[in-house]
A and B are shown apart, each in its own frame.
Chain A
Amino acid sequence: MSVTISPRKLRREFVKKVKELSGQNLQLCYQCGMCSGSCPAVSNMDVSPRQIIELARLGLEEEITNSKTFWICASCLACTVNCPRGFDLSRMMEAIRLLTLRKNIDHIRPEDISPQERCGLPQIAMVSGLRKFTG
């Protein structure tokens, strides 16, 4: 992917919030790609986990929030346990999700889940899913 970097696009406030919410030092990452390599959902993402970290460091908020990557992440923590730098990407993904959800923009509505699916879902799926996708 190619992105245009310019001072006008850079969102320092976004970087600051991601750092605060995730508690992670974005500078730890040296872009080895272990996170993308160990992610079981990477083939369904439009921007890879490694790229998300770099975009966040560059303060490119729009490129991140326009991607679907952080909504595809299942918080399985494969990236977290495999990162050689001790960077917890699952916390960064959560921070990015929350920055949208806290604007009162939910990712899903319970009524969007098909009635057939809803009848079969165990509580654990509803509780965890609504925790991750609604504000």
Chain B
Amino acid sequence: MSLAYYPGCTLKTRARNLEQPAVASMEALGFKLNEVPRWNCCGAVYSLAEDDLIHQVAPVRNLIRAKKQGETELVTLCAFCLNTLKRANILMKEDIAKRDTINDFIDEEIDYAGEVKVVHLLEVLRDELGWEALSQKVKLPLRGLRVAPYYGCTLLRPREVAIDSVEDPTILREFLEALGASPVDFPESTRCCGSYQVISSPDDISGYARLILDSALSHGAETLVVTCPLCDYNLGRGQKELSKKSGFREMPLLYFTQLLALALGLGPQVCHFQLNHGSPELLLKEKTLIS
């Protein structure tokens, strides 16, 4: 089965360790991720100002490209891209006046009115494949690996784009269970990592990271699973700062797609662990999940 796929900028460079295990895993599961032709940056953050329509043009152009291909669904991997594309899509569906202005301005051959459904890869696994079917495809169960599921912000907020319950999300826990891992629930799983503040207030980031990581650690996690390249960066960067101080134990970070690829028996070669923070290979070797 073929799925229209929007990668976004970071997945082609810093976050190849998020994208490549996803592409390989989906193929092993019988899905082909087809990149939308001529995709452009979605803008990373959704514009929150009523009069700022120009920043809606970038995400809408991507949605138009998907529609032109005859697609009814667009899959994203990056949590930021999901949020921006999905919110722009809702705007085009529900706000007639703004939709007309944006369509007139863009002036492509076709108009757009929110026809393409924007989904995250985790939703495809849950809703189109199903956890039961996924668990049956697992060749190397991640037994004994204690993983804290970290959602961050953009998969769950605002409410209208949430891929799961805003207050008590379970999608990552269910995903980890299907792979045979041991999920470790912790109270800071939806707490913000500091996001784009890393460019203006970098000193605050280690404080945000510490709360999240200490909480995961104290609940018994050995690693944290992330879905967003900015969470990955901030939580990794924060650890580097914190490790200079005493009393902090570093924790490796993993993308959910890397765990998926490992469990499907695709091996470390598609995972690009060299791009991860905290050398997860040591932990994975200890658990005999890689050699």
B residues within 8 Å of A by Cβ?
Answer: 8-10, 13-15, 41, 43-45, 47-52, 55, 78, 80, 153, 156-159, 166, 191-192, 194-202, 204, 207-208, 211, 228-230, 232-233, 237
Q: A94 to B51: give the CA distance in the assembly, Å.
A: 12
A91 close to B (CB within 8 Å)? yes
- What's the minimum C-beta distance from B159 to chain A, rounded to whole angstroms? 6
Contacts of B237 in A (CB 8 A): 120
User: B159, B202, B204: which contacts A81 (Cβ < 8 A)?
Assistant: B159
User: B13, B158, B166, B200: which contacts A133 (Cβ < 8 A)?
Assistant: B200
- Contact assessment for B50 and A22 in the assembled complex, using a CB-CB cutoff below 8 Å: yes
Beyond A81-B157, A128-B80, A131-B55, is A75–B48 a contact (Cβ under 8 Å)? yes
Chain B: interface secondary structure? loop
User: B9, B198, B201: which contacts A72 (Cβ < 8 A)?
Assistant: B201
Contacts of A78 in B (CB 8 A): 153, 157, 191-192
- Contact assessment for B192 and A76 in the assembled complex, using a CB-CB cutoff below 8 Å: yes
- Contact assessment for A122 and B197 in the assembled complex, using a CB-CB cutoff below 8 Å: no
- Contact assessment for A90 and B48 in the assembled complex, using a CB-CB cutoff below 8 Å: yes
- Contact assessment for B44 and A128 in the assembled complex, using a CB-CB cutoff below 8 Å: yes
Kindly supply a per-residue 1/0 record for chain A positions 32-55, scoring 1 wherever the CB is within 8 Å of any chain B CB and 0 otherwise: 000000001101100000000000
User: B14, B156, B197: which contacts A74 (Cβ < 8 A)?
Assistant: B197
A5 close to B (CB within 8 Å)? no
Q: A94 to B87: give the CA distance in the assembly, Å.
A: 16
- Contact assessment for B10 and A123 in the assembled complex, using a CB-CB cutoff below 8 Å: yes
Beyond A122-B10, A124-B10, is A95–B158 a contact (Cβ under 8 Å)? no
- Contact assessment for B200 and A108 in the assembled complex, using a CB-CB cutoff below 8 Å: yes
A113 close to B (CB within 8 Å)? yes
Interface band, chain A = 35 or more
Contacts of A122 in B (CB 8 A): 10, 13-15, 229-230, 232-233
Nearest to B50 among chain A residues (CB) is A23
Beyond A81-B158, A124-B9, A127-B41, is A40–B199 a contact (Cβ under 8 Å)? no
Nearest to B41 among chain A residues (CB) is A127
Contacts of A77 in B (CB 8 A): 153, 157-158
Nearest to A95 among chain B residues (CB) is B49
- Contact assessment for B229 and A124 in the assembled complex, using a CB-CB cutoff below 8 Å: yes
Q: A131 to B197: give the CA distance in the assembly, Å.
A: 12
Contacts of B13 in A (CB 8 A): 122-123
User: A21, A43, A117, A126: which contacts B49 (Cβ < 8 A)?
Assistant: A21
A121 close to B (CB within 8 Å)? yes
Instruction: Add 19 more A-B contacts to A41-B192, A43-B207, A123-B10 (CB < 8 A).
Output: A21-B51, A71-B201, A76-B153, A77-B153, A80-B157, A81-B156, A94-B49, A98-B49, A122-B13, A124-B8, A124-B44, A125-B196, A127-B9, A128-B230, A129-B196, A129-B197, A129-B200, A130-B199, A131-B196
Contacts of B43 in A (CB 8 A): 127, 131
Q: A80 to B158: give the CA distance in the assembly, Å.
A: 7
Q: Which 5 A-B pairs have the closest CB atoms?
A: A76-B192, A129-B199, A77-B157, A94-B48, A129-B196
Nearest to B161 among chain A residues (CB) is A77
- What's the minimum C-beta distance from A46 to chain B, rounded to whole angstroms? 13
A20 close to B (CB within 8 Å)? yes
A107 close to B (CB within 8 Å)? yes
A-B contact pairs, 17 of them (CB 8 A): A20-B50, A21-B50, A40-B191, A44-B207, A74-B194, A74-B195, A77-B153, A78-B191, A94-B49, A98-B52, A120-B233, A123-B9, A128-B44, A128-B195, A129-B196, A129-B198, A131-B196
